[in-house]
Amino acid sequence: MISFASRAGSAIQAFAEASSDLLIQPTLRLGVTGLARSGKTVFTTALIHHLVETHALPAFAPAHEGRLRRARLVPQPDDDVPRFPYEDHFAALTEQRLWPRSTDRISQFRLAIEYERKGGWRSGPGTLMLDVVDYPGEWLLDLALIDQSYAEWSAATIAGTRRTGRAAIAAPWLAVLKDLDPSGPLDEVVAERASIAFTAYLTALRAGPESVATTPPGRFLMPGDLAGSPALTFAPLDALPETIVPNSLAGLMERRFEAYKAKVVEPFFRNHFQRVDRQIVLVDVLAAVDAGPAALAELEEALDTVLLSFRIGRNTILSRLFAPRADRIMFAATKADHLHQTSHDRLEALLRLLVSRAMRRTEAAGARVGTVALASVRATRETTVHDDGMTLRAVSGTPEAGEHVGDEVFDGRSEAAVFPGELPSRPESVLEGAVPPGSLRFPRFRPPLVRPDAHGRPGHLPQIRLDRAMQFLIGDKLT
């Protein structure tokens, strides 16, 4: 459990920040997260791009109504957090037509958004400081470890190997696990060997057919500067004794598990996660659909776990000062541009089904939950193709070099029209296996060609419903 002192420290920090917001400068802290390959970096880059360039986005009221005066990047509030490298990511998208590298660590930026209020007694200019914190979703899943003992985590992780389709993936790790004696002597070499085998299992899960595997600890796959440290050198053990002896192998593993929680998980909760006012969770639903019902079940469980981690609810003046809550959470199904627009509503309906249980719980706590199918940067356009006398709704773009559909392999330069398939009208049928694994066609498309305008300003990155997400997350703060 997080200690009383830790919670007290968080409350003091929240009080200081909220007091400053109320008395000096309105500030909104937005968290951006999602599991691997869900498009976090692209979303954050596109969000900055459209705000800084003040594009007239139809569903984002402040911009559409002409009240968005300007937005500018200013020094961020937390000096110990890396700055989000917006300029590098934007250049990759527009100059090289390459997708930015994935999020593997926490980063942050601050935007000063200047706008005109809508009118009434508060009419006139206003400024909102928008702090955006971009972090891997795997770190969020680690929060579930806080209330688990080492024995509970070991049992749950080993039980997870019995899920459908995991036997072959888990076999090498389980073979190592079988030879480990929890009551045996403390041995650093044995502990390291167990940790390496367990990490290989987690890596194989990520690369396997589920592709959305969510077994913590998340930092094992994204160690950063913790690589090789004792805090990341542990693993589950089977047949644990009722009482774990400190100088045994199990005692060493338990101590390091607790150190991971204390040194890695709790500081993230205290310093970053607990301070979030609004949150967007990006979800690659299409990858899970294409992987089959087991991957969708895994994704549904992961999203439920994610939402359980949030401190959610409607904020009062006291909660804003002492224990701020996330009062709006949006789930976004990304890569909607891989489907024809006629399937976008079906994609969102499937997402709503996956998070329906979590949505009911969140709304009961007084928070608002939104869902949307979006493409932060649209890489395709809609078209039709003709096949055996049939007209099919397709998408057209430039597939990356080496991508293929059937026997056709793309060179990364030529455009191609692809019929991706269609999602069923009834979302429940997808969970029942109505879409056979591998039956959809989702080649990875390159970012669109974007040229500067006549004045040399950066071109407008096309998007699908990014403006709707922006309205839900920050629009009410710019009125």
pLDDT digits (tens, 9 = 90+) for 165-185: 788 999 999 999 999 999 999
The pLDDT of residue 4 is above 60: no
Q: Is the domain defined by 4-135+272-378+464-478 classed in CATH 3.40.50.300? A: yes
What are the sequence ranges of the domains in the chain?
4-135+272-378+464-478, 148-256
Residue located via tokens 């791009």:
49
The pLDDT of residue 242 is above 70: yes
Contacts of 107 (CB under 8 A, 6+ apart): 81, 82, 83, 84, 85, 133, 134, 135
User: Following CA atoms 80, 85, 86, 87 in sequence, which dihedral angle do they give, to the nearest 10 degrees?
Assistant: 130
Q: What average pLDDT score do residues 86-97 get? A: 95
The pLDDT of residue 412 is above 80: yes
Lowest mean pLDDT among 72-81, 296-305, 316-325, 390-399: 316-325
190-201 pLDDT tens trace:
999 999 999 999
457-476 pLDDT tens trace:
778 899 999 999 999 999 99
For residue 89, give the DSSP letter. Answer: H
Q: What average pLDDT score do residues 336-340 get? A: 97
25-46 pLDDT tens trace:
899 999 999 887 899 999 999 9
Q: What average pLDDT score do residues 336-352 get? A: 97
Contacts of 464 (CB under 8 A, 6+ apart): 336, 337, 344, 373, 374, 375, 378
255-281 pLDDT tens trace:
999 999 999 999 988 888 888 999 999
Instruction: Kindly indicate the confidence band of residue 320, based on its pLDDT and cuts at 50, 70 and 90.
Output: very low
Q: Taking all residues of the chain, what is their mean pLDDT, rounded to a whole number?
A: 88
Instruction: Kindly indicate the confidence band of residue 20, based on its pLDDT and cuts at 50, 70 and 90.
Output: very low
Residue located via tokens 């400068």:
25
pLDDT value of position 223 = 86
Burial (Cβ within 10 Å: 0-12, 13-18, ≥19) of residue 179? exposed
DSSP 398-450: -BPTT-EETTEE--SSS-EEE------SSTHHHHTTSS-TT-S--PPBPPPP-
Measure the CA–CA gap between 427 and 431, rounded to whole angstroms: 7
pLDDT value of position 159 = 95
The pLDDT of residue 244 is above 60: yes
CA distances from 435 to 9, 160, 291, 293 (A): 49, 25, 9, 9
pLDDT value of position 24 = 66
